[in-house]
Amino acid sequence: MSNTVAVAGATGYAGGEVLRLLLGHPGLEVGAVSAGGSAGDRLGAHHPHLPDLAGRTVEETSPGVLAGHDAVVLALPHGHSAALAAALAGGAAGPVVVDAAADHRLVDAGAWREFYGGDHPGPWPYGLPELPLAGGGRQRDRLPHGGAAGPWRVAVPGCYPTAVSLALAPGFAADLLDPSDVVVVAASGTSGAGRAPRAHLLGADVMGSMSPYGVGGTHRHTPEIEQNLSWAAGEPVTVSFTPTLAPMPRGILATCTARLRPGADPGAVRPAWEASYREEPFVRVLPEGAWPRTGDTLGANTAHVQVAVDRRAGRVVAVAALDNLGKGTAGAAVQCLNLALGMPETAGLATAGLAP
């Protein structure tokens, strides 16, 4: 029997990608689809690429609409998830709730207030199963699994933090990297900004041009990146993070550098990354000399990673590519649903990308 999944925020890019993945999933089926301003519309008016759901009516997002399902995916703007999730019953009587927004990602209430403002909604288990942790183990061990006691709540990571964390975490977990000197420059496609129309995202402004934003440590994903890498290192990690907007619909390419710790063996770098991800189905360390490309991950739940040592500068360079709507959001949500509902973690998720 399939588990029913309601999707709130179903008319956005992330919600649409969740629906696409659910349609091809062997153990999940689409339940209610809801949204805010587009309630009452036919879903096909927003996602014509999903013909099997075109005739569905988009409902108002409310606890009553979402209740009664085995699981709920919240693909809502930041700040809208916490109150809605609180109104859904927890424990065995309530659904698994997976939040694709930032409301429950951060543990540090001070970081939440600084970067998001307002009261901290509180942390949920963080849904990046592959993240290696200091002292051994994975973030997977901290996530709800089928048969475990509820309530079952999971916070889906941000797209940039997923790419950066997967790129650098093995080096911190292996005690190879200096936690005080980390620099990241990452490019994202326009879908990372959501579907709401904005002047700076018009095709005429984006095509043929790249631009930075959130410069100077102001991007909201900065504390999440530092949180994840600190979990891997077992001590605080400070990151200088600069995102850029690339003229492409989807994809993230994160170029991350960190200074080697004094006395660290440069020859231990690549083996540390290979050992960390050898058993992970969704993280691929590429052969030496092959560098990640966003196009190779489109439509898949995979992150492609490569690492090298700049011996002259004494730095490690780690690059990760992923689909910001795949492994960066919707794919991660389904991966966490699989774990929480007791299904194979890989169910319904592709590892092969689209080409060309």
Which residues are part of the catalytic machinery? 159
CA 203 vs. chain centroid, Å, equals 25
CA 293 vs. chain centroid, Å, equals 18
Q: Which two tokens stand for residue 289?
A: 């000399």
Q: How far is residue 266's CA from residue 315's CA, in Å, rounded to a whole number?
A: 9
Locate the DSSP E strands across the chain.
3-8, 28-35, 59-60, 71-74, 96-99, 153-155, 177-188, 211-212, 239-245, 252-260, 283-285, 303-310, 315-322
Q: How far is residue 192's CA from residue 153's CA, in Å, rounded to a whole number?
A: 23
Q: How far is residue 160's CA from residue 285's CA, in Å, rounded to a whole number?
A: 18
Amino acid at 72: V
Q: Which two tokens stand for residue 7?
A: 């999707």
The 3 state secondary structure assigned to 166-196 is HHHHHHHHCCCEEEEEEEEEEEECHHHHCCC
Q: How far is residue 172's CA from residue 238's CA, in Å, rounded to a whole number?
A: 12
Neighbours of 173 (CB within 10 A): 25
